[in-house]
Amino acid sequence: MRPEILFPYYADVTTVKGVGPKLAPLLAQHVGTHVRDLVFFLPSSVIKRPLVPLTAARIGEVQTVAVTIAGYPPSPLKGPQRVETFDGPTRLTLVYFHRIRGFESQHPIGAKRLISGKLESFNGHLQMPHPDYIVDEDRAGEIPSCEPVYPATLDLGSRAIRKLAQGALAATPDLPEWLDKAMVDKYLWPSFHSALFAAHAPLSEHDLDPDAKPRQRLAYDEALAHQLALKARKQFRQNTPSRAIDYHDLADKALSTLPFAMTGAQVRALGDIRRDLRSGHRMNRLVQGDVGAGKTLVALMAMIDVAEAGLQSVLMAPTEILARQHFEKSLPILQALGITSTIMTGRDKGRERERKRAAVAAGQVQVVFGTHAVFQEGVDFKTLQLAVIDEQHRFGVSQRQRLFSKGEAVHYLSMSATPIPRTLALTQYGEADLSILDEKPAGRQPIHTAVVPRARLADVMIRLKAALNEGQQAYWICPLVEDSAESDLIAAEKRHDALQEALAIEIGLVHGRMASEMKDAVVTRFAAGELRVLCATTVVEVGIDVPTASIIIIEQAERFGLAQLHQLRGRVGRGTAKSACILLYDAPLSQVAKARLELLRDTEDGFKIAEMDWQLRGEGDILGAKQSGFPDYRFVDPVRHTALIGLAAREAVYILQQGEALPAPRRKAIEVLKQLFYWRADVADKQD
């Protein structure tokens, strides 16, 4: 049950004065449906409105001035409405581009008014187009000297949101203190409720900074609520019995037949997984590795261990191309060990699909590779004990849960090919144990990266032709699928046609709008060497493994995320040939864009790139639009609040360890915190 003290926070937004049937849907779409959503919706900037004499007013700045209405000069019926005002010898013209009915009666000649807005100079005369405020002198308090500005829409302005937020704040009670007093005193933090009020009433740009004390307090509370849910889920998992799985020698026999040895990082990661499988409790481990670090081999060895114990495993990938690639690379190893396997995708139809499903349900198949098809209704396992999910951020919680429900206390191994800083890993995967592959397997070729202006496209084409004549293969990456009149981004279809004409050979084309069968067919031809060049969008970012491809050209590289560029670059350097990545950019570059491309040129270390990209980009989309899977935070800035996240994680562990030993008032307050931020452990437990 939600604590009663939170009822006002979760009251419908229509309970706020001024929110009627017309405004409620706009608020629901832009802000949220509860009072809580309004008070959590903070201003993004601030406008100072100093009161100055008109004689001292500055052109181009927002100011408040006291004037007297002088008159209304005649103007064309459809022209702007002008209002002449003065303050002593100085005159000021107010300009309204849309006539306001009843304006002259509200502000008659001779009336004294306070006017606030940006001053401009037009033909040597002072004017103020569309003043933000015009009020009687005795209502001076309606013009804030420092006005918070909220993210607005065309139908829902900042000032309207500010008024509603103030009404919502007035309706919310103070909450019990859930933090230790020593921590509050150490960091000089206000109470949660005081912090909310202060965050909605900034007095300067400094008050908008993520490290301003009120915002820091709110961010810590949100991070703590999130970490409590993550750590509780981890605690629940660790206390959930699962079948203990030991290994013997089958996986080691497979490794001995490979033409290379595992890296130290791979050996450590496999050791971590084996300890988890032997523990008798459910595993939830993330194997995070750079491009080409060998995550799949580690997962395959774990699946062999499970098969040796007479149990089943499944590896789920986000695309059919990637699932088929995993299957085809693993098949020879599994067959040599006598382990049965199959692949299940949406392409399976009729009798073939039913045959595969029956074999899996009967336990005749020990290792299953597949896409979303594996968690569909009608796919049943006999003894599923290990679920491996590649690129797990591409699957929703409910999808993963449907897969786990096909077995009893299924062990969970996730893989991520996007290196992310450790603090962000704590944010995204706080409930998981982490194994990092920070070594490259022997034999991986270094990739020469060049940053080239697109004005030198002709030179790049000459180099590409020479490389193709030597038998090499290349990727050509474009930002969009097709040309758009509203965008200046290079389109893959247009570039594909231009490349075919310039190179006089057949060029492959792959993009996200193609049917999976068509994409697979083109990629298969490229991998077989039938196509020398593959023109594509970022659909090839993850999972395309063509060892014979040694060149990748990325157009308008400055438009891509740095982590995404690193992933794309990882499509080459997989064979024995020297490889190159050419980053074409449109000049001029901003300082940040230049620094990012130079960083990519100077290093291939994905973890270093992630750390530096994190620092360079600052607040915003850390690893790609909605791809990273990070929580939808209201107050936490994952870049600026790294220390707070770590602090919250440690505090969450302490709180859970103390349990009933914590004073009862604080335990109750912590429950209020968890429910205030939605990060409820009981919901989290049910998800995984």
Other CB atoms within a 10 A radius of the CB of residue 575 amount to 18
For residue 305, the number of C-alpha atoms closer than 13 Å in the C-beta half-sphere is: 23
pLDDT tens per residue, range 553-609 = 999 999 888 878 888 898 898 877 889 999 999 989 888 889 889 988 998 887 778
pLDDT tens, residue by residue, 67-94: 999 999 988 777 888 999 999 999 999 9
pLDDT of residue 684: 38
Residue 158's contacts (CB-CB under 8 Å, 6 or more residues apart) are 43, 149, 150, 151, 152
* Residue 657 scores a pLDDT above 50: yes
Nearest Cα to Cα of residue 151 among 50, 64, 31: 31
How confident is the model over 117-159, as pLDDT tens digits? 999 998 889 999 999 999 999 999 899 999 999 999 888 999 9
How confident is the model at residue 618, as a pLDDT?
A: 46
The pLDDT score that the predictor gives to residue 424 is 62
Transcribe 330-352 into DSSP letters: HHHHHHHHT--EEEE-TT--HHH
637 in Cβ contact with 620 (< 8 Å): no
Dump pLDDT digits (tens) for 8-30: 999 999 999 999 999 999 999 99
Kindly give the pairing relationship between strand 579-585 and strand 447-453: parallel
Q: Mean of the per-residue pLDDT values for the chain? A: 87
Q: Which helix (H) or strand (E) holds 284?
A: strand 284-289
CA 106 vs CA 64, 97, 113, 136: distances in Å: 19, 18, 11, 10
Rounded to whole angstroms, the Cα distance separating 53 from 42 reads: 32
Residue 679 scores a pLDDT above 80: no
Q: Tell me: pLDDT of 611 over 80.
A: no
CB count, 10 Å around CB of 642?
18
Q: Are 167 and 16 within 8 A, CB to CB?
A: yes
pLDDT of residue 547: 84
pLDDT score of 687: 35
Q: What burial class does residue 225 get, using C-beta atoms within 10 Å of its C-beta: 0-12 exposed, 13-18 middle, 19+ buried?
A: buried
**CA 419 to CA 438: how far, in whole Å?**
9
Give yes or no for a contact between 274 and 299, defined as CB atoms under 8 angstroms apart. no
One-letter amino acid of 316: M
Residue 289: per-residue pLDDT: 82
At what angle are helices 457-469 and 492-503 packed, to 10 degrees? 60
Task: Count CB neighbours of 56 within 10 A.
Answer: 10
Judge contact between 225 and 649, C-beta under 8 A: no
Predicted confidence at residue 631, as pLDDT, reads: 57
Give residue 564's pLDDT.
Answer: 82
Residue with tokens 């965008």: 487
Instruction: Check pLDDT > 50 for residue 267.
Output: yes
pLDDT per residue as tens digits for the range 327-357: 999 999 999 999 999 999 888 888 999 999 9
**CB atoms < 10 A from the CB of 120, how many?**
14
How many other CB atoms are there within 10 angstroms of residue 452's CB atom? 17
Confidence of residue 542 (pLDDT cuts 50, 70, 90): low
pLDDT value of residue 420: 67
Structure tokens at 310: 């007479």
CATH architecture of 50-143: Beta Barrel (2.40)
Structure tokens at 262: 């595992």
Q: How far apart are CA 369 and CA 353, in angstroms?
A: 14
For residue 536, the SS3 value is strand
What is residue 395's predicted lDDT score, i.e. its pLDDT? 65
Give the mean pLDDT of 296-321: 93
Question: Check: CATH 3.40.50.300 for 447-603?
Answer: yes
Calculated CA dihedral for residues 572, 574, 578, 581, nearest 10 degrees: 20
Express each pLDDT in 629-649 by its tens digit: 445 789 998 778 888 988 999
- pLDDT bin (cut points 50, 70, 90) of residue 686 is very low
Which two tokens mark 549? 């491809």
**pLDDT at position 674, please?**
94
Q: Say whether 296 sits in a helix, a strand or coil.
A: helix
Q: Do domains 250-437 and 447-603 have the same CATH topology?
A: yes
Strand extents, DSSP E, 146-211:
146-149
Tell me: pLDDT of 455 over 60. yes
Q: SS3 sequence, 92-107?
A: EEEEECCCCCCHHHHC
Cα distance between residue 420 and residue 369, in whole Å: 26
Specify which residues 149 forms β-bridges with: 45
pLDDT at 625 (0 to 100): 30
The half-sphere exposure of 631 on its side-chain side, counting CA atoms within 13 A, is: 27
How close are the terminal C-alpha atoms of the chain, in Å?
A: 22
In 583-663, alpha helices (H): 591-602, 606-617, 642-658
What is the 8-class DSSP label of residue 135?
Answer: E
Q: Kindly calculate the radius of gyration of the chain based on its CA atoms and give it in whole angstroms.
A: 31
Q: What is the pLDDT of residue 646?
A: 87
Return phi, psi of residue 234, to 5°: -65, -40
Is 403 within 8 Å of 388 (Cβ atoms)? no
- DSSP letters for 139-157: GGGGS-SEEEE----SSS-
- Neighbour count for residue 326 (Cβ, 10 Å): 23
pLDDT, tens digit, 9 for 90 and up, residues 151-209:
998 889 999 999 999 999 999 999 999 999 999 999 999 999 999 999 999 999 999 99
Instruction: Classify residue 370 by its DSSP letter.
Output: E
Look at residues 50, 47, 44 and name the one whose alpha carbon lies nearest to residue 63: 50
Q: Tell me: the pLDDT tens digits for 472-525?
A: 999 999 988 766 555 566 788 889 999 999 999 999 999 878 887 788 889 889
Per-position b or e across 172-184, b if 16+ CB within 10 A of its CB = beebbbbbeeeee
The total number of residues shown for the chain amounts to 688
Share of the chain above pLDDT 70, in %: 91
Could you tell me the residue ranges of all domains in the chain? Answer: 4-46+150-208, 50-143, 250-437, 447-603
Sign of CA dihedral 306, 310, 316, 317: positive
Q: For the domain 250-437, what is the CATH superfamily, name and number?
A: P-loop containing nucleotide triphosphate hydrolases (3.40.50.300)
What is residue 225's predicted lDDT score, i.e. its pLDDT?
A: 93
Residue 425 has pLDDT above 80, yes or no: no
Q: What phi, psi does 379 have (nearest 5°)?
A: -100, 110
d(CA 414, CA 416): 7
CA dihedral 69→74→76→79, nearest 10 degrees, is -20
Output the CA angle 493-498-501, nearest 5 degrees: 130
pLDDT at 688 over 50: no
- How far is 601 from 566, CA to CA, in rounded Å? 10
Residue 396 has a pLDDT of 62
Token reading at 491: 């389109």
